[in-house]
Amino acid sequence: MFLLAVSVTAAAQNDIQSANTSRNLGKDKWEWTVFIRASPTVLKNIVCVEYKLPSTLPKPNRKICAVGKTSQPFAISGSGWGTFDIPILITFKKGPSRYLKHRLTFAKAD
C-alpha cells in the first residue's frame, strides 16, 4: 500500500503546467507573470521553483521557494517587449525534480 501512495504522488507530480498572464503597457511593452499550475496536494510538495530568464533581463536566474498567491503559485514577474522560452526546474520535498519549458506569450489585443 505504501508503494501505491508513492506511485500516485509521482503521477500527480507529472500533472504540473506552467502558465503566464500579460498586460499591454503601450508602445510594444508588456508586463508579464509566469507561474505554475498544479493541484493543492502537489503544490504542498514543491520546495522551490527556479526560472532561467535571458541574461539581458535583471536577475535572470530566479528561485522562488514560497507558494505566494494561490491563483499564481511560485510566480515571477517582469516586463519587456519580446517573447522567449523559460526553462523551469521544480524541486520537490520527495521525488525527483521536474523540468518544464514555458514559452512566454502576450495577450492578443481586442
Closest CA to 72 of 13, 17, 9: 17
Q: What is the pLDDT of residues 73-110, one digit of tens each?
A: 999 999 999 999 999 999 999 989 999 999 999 986 54
- Residue 71: predicted pLDDT: 96
Ranking 5-9, 28-32, 66-70 by mean pLDDT, the lowest is 5-9
The domain limits of the chain are 2-103
Q: Which superfamily, per CATH, for 2-103? A: YEATS domain (2.60.40.1970)
The chain-wide mean pLDDT, for the chain, equals 88
Which three cell numbers, joined as nine digits, stand for 19? 502558465
pTM value? 0.84
Q: What is the pLDDT of residues 34-49, one digit of tens each?
A: 999 999 999 999 999 9
User: CA 54, CA 58: separation in Å to the nearest integer?
Assistant: 9
Q: Report the 10 Å Cβ neighbour count for 72.
A: 18
CB 49 within 8 A of CB 89: yes
